[in-house]
């Protein structure tokens, strides 16, 4: 299992409501992308990031933690709004 799959499995396991992901991998094996969940509704980006990283920091060791470039947290409604600009 590559790190992207491992990360997606961890994100599923931390209790987010119906999460979906768009996570890419760099040639160096680092990952980054979008985490979409109803769990983020009504929360600021800081609250969302704190919620996500509090759990990830409990689970991931420093080596794996450093493989994550960025994870943008969005609600399904925000994704729909963004898609309407296309």
Would you say residue 84 has pLDDT above 90?
Answer: no
Q: What is the pLDDT of residue 1?
A: 77
| 3-33 pLDDT tens trace | 999 999 999 999 999 999 999 999 999 999 9
Would you say residue 42 has pLDDT above 70?
Answer: yes
Q: What is the pLDDT of residue 86?
A: 63
Buried b (16+ CB within 10 A) or exposed e, 36-69: bbebbeeeeeeebbebbeebbeeebeeeeeebbe
User: What is the rounded distance in angstroms from the CA atom of residue 71 to the CA atom of residue 55?
Assistant: 13
pTM recorded for the entire structure: 0.89
For residue 4, the tally of other CB atoms under 10 A from its CB is 18
Contact at 8 Å (CB) between 42 and 61? no
């Amino acid at each position: 299992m590559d790190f992207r799959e491992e990360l997606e499995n961890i994100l599923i396991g931390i209790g987010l409501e119906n999460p979906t992901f768009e996570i890419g991998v760099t040639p160096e094996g680092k990952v980054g992308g979008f985490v979409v969940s109803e769990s983020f509704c009504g929360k600021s980006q800081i609250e969302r990031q704190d919620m996500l990283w509090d759990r990830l920091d409990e689970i991931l060791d420093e080596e794996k933690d450093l493989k994550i470039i960025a994870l943008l947290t969005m609600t399904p409604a925000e994704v729909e709004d963004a898609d309407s600009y296309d």
